């Protein structure tokens, strides 16, 4: 399951989505996330599904690779669904002992599960279609106007990108430590929740030590290269907006306008 997490990973292809300006993809992702919280009925999700399907097709990223990222959140999806169907009152559909399944809870549970699925798939597409360097440049460019009020744009962009970059590295490290501990008799697949929680202790301690060691090595490597922040730094590749980026902006905001209109139709 550790290897099924796709957040923070980059999938290189020569697609039109990969070629877009990172600022377009960042703003588009925030607009997409906002649109999911505007929706208040089921039928607008058909628009979201169509929009996301077109993006995935244009990105040339395999659908299996995208949707395997949903495996780690299956438990969260199930928990969210069950909490809603049992806790939100309405007309009783079915009795399971002392528990009652309500029609309103079933509707709300399905609604929330769909929202979470689209949210994970849509946000995963950002890192899958944008390299860490492009992501850093895009975040810094978007934060540049806030430099006037003292916001450290370059440092914030660097920290956010390094955090995303090290997610796959730490997941790989976690997988190695788990296999080593399982070889010593640790049981991470037991159905007993208390037993599994106890077995996480010998996993978390070496993981934290490894994370701090990697952070220290990275800091030393940056100091050895005379890194002093973003002042007066130049880039080999300058990001520039072109025609396809403006077309992408138009499509994203047209999609957002359609989603807003669904609240009034």
Per-residue pLDDT of the chain (265 residues; tens, 9 = 90+): 445 566 667 788 888 998 898 889 999 999 999 999 999 888 899 999 999 999 989 988 888 777 777 777 788 888 888 888 877 777 777 777 677 777 788 888 888 889 999 998 888 888 888 887 788 788 878 888 887 787 777 777 777 777 777 777 777 788 787 777 777 776 666 656 666 667 677 777 888 888 888 888 888 888 887 777 666 666 667 778 889 999 999 999 999 999 999 888 7
Q: Kindly state the tokens that stand for 64.
A: 């299996």
d(CA 140, CA 142): 5
**125 and 56 Cβ atoms separated by less than 8 Å:** yes
pLDDT at 180: 78
**pTM assigned to the model:** 0.76
d(CA 213, CA 208): 9
Q: Where do the H-state alpha helices sit in the chain?
A: 16-19, 22-38, 44-59, 63-67, 74-87, 103-128, 132-143, 153-183, 193-199, 201-224, 243-262
């Amino acid at each position: 399951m550790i290897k099924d997490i796709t957040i923070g990973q980059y999938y290189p292809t020569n697609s039109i989505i990969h070629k877009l300006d990172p600022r377009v993809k960042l703003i588009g992702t925030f607009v997409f996330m906002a649109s999911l919280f505007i929706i208040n009925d089921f039928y607008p999700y058909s628009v979201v599904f169509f929009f996301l399907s077109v993006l995935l097709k244009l990105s040339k990223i395999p659908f299996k690779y995208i949707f395997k990222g949903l495996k780690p959140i299956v438990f969260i999806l199930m928990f969210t669904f069950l909490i809603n169907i049992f806790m939100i009152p309405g007309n009783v559909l079915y009795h399971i002992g002392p528990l009652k399944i309500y029609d309103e809870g079933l509707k709300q549970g399905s609604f929330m599960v769909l929202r979470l699925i689209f949210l994970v798939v849509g946000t995963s597409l950002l890192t899958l279609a944008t390299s860490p360097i492009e992501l850093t440049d895009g975040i810094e460019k978007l934060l540049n106007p806030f430099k006037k009020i003292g916001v450290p744009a370059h440092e914030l962009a660097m920290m956010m990108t390094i955090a995303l970059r090290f997610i796959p590295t730490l997941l790989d490290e976690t997988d190695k430590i788990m296999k080593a501990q399982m070889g010593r008799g640790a049981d991470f697949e037991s159905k007993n929740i208390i037993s599994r929680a106890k077995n996480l202790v010998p996993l978390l301690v070496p993981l934290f030590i490894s994370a701090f060691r990697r952070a220290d090595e990275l800091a030393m490597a940056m100091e050895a290269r005379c890194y002093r922040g973003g002042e007066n730094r130049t880039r080999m590749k300058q990001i520039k907006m072109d025609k396809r980026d403006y077309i992408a902006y138009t499509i994203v905001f047209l999609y957002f306008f359609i989603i807003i209109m669904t609240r009034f139709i």
